[in-house]
Amino acid sequence: MTALARWRRLKEEEEKIAKEIAKKIALIQNPGLGEFKIRDLNDEINKMIRIKYAWEMRIKELGGMDYRKISSRELDKEGKEVASNKGYKYFGAAKDLPGVRQLFEESKELEQMRKTRAELMKNVDADYYGYLDDDDGLLIPLEKEEEKKAIAQAEKYFAEHGAERFQKEFGDDLDEDIYKIQDDSDGEDIDTKESIVVGEDGKQMTIKHVLVSIYWWT
């Protein structure tokens, strides 16, 4: 059997099951059938829906249309999709069976309680991230109190251990004259000439002149 023939056979089976489902859904709308008949019909409809879904998946595997995307959905009286419990759906009068109505009411309550991501993000502002903690005036006094404690603790530690520790780490450098100018001369003798001049205030000053030799190459 070719792929086209298999596809046609599967399509015929899918259409046949869809017609049977439609007949049973129309039949289950009658609440006078009784509770047990309604439950049996609802079970048969769910079983046939699973078979129909299997045929549709096989048709898709053979390259056919994805009927799951275009199939109509079962709606309730308010126009909402039929609620399901782990894939099990209730149709027609089965929605009013004992225990089923409570199931639908609980589902509606959960939908009302469930918030979307956009609704949750409305409450996420600067206050949520703690950027406005200083605006109430409660945090700043507490921070100042902790700052005073930290400063007092640091001063106490330095008074007990600071001087001794400072002497151990920097004691070798304390006696050095930080203003002393290092002698960068290489030990060579420099010819100098001294002259004494008298300043405007009448005091004598000694000026040293460095003799510079200039060499010319020709």
Contact 14, 56 (CB under 8 A): yes
- The letter for the amino acid at 120 is L
- Which pLDDT score, from 0 to 100, does residue 78 have? 45
Q: Which residues contact 80 (CB under 8 A, 6 or more apart)?
A: none
The span from the CA of 97 to the CA of 147, in Å, is 69
**Domain locations in the chain?**
3-119
Q: Is 3-119 assigned to CATH 3.40.50.450? A: no
Q: Residue 51 corresponds to which tokens in the numbers above?
A: 């078979």
In this prediction, residue 122 carries a pLDDT of 76
pLDDT in tens, the chain (218 residues): 676 677 677 777 778 888 888 888 888 888 888 888 888 999 999 988 888 888 778 777 777 767 666 655 555 444 445 544 457 888 888 888 887 777 767 666 666 666 677 777 777 777 777 777 666 777 778 888 999 998 888 888 778 776 666 566 555 555 555 556 555 555 456 667 777 777 777 777 777 766 666 555 55
pLDDT value, residue 85: 43
CA distances from 29 to 91, 158, 205 (A): 8, 90, 126
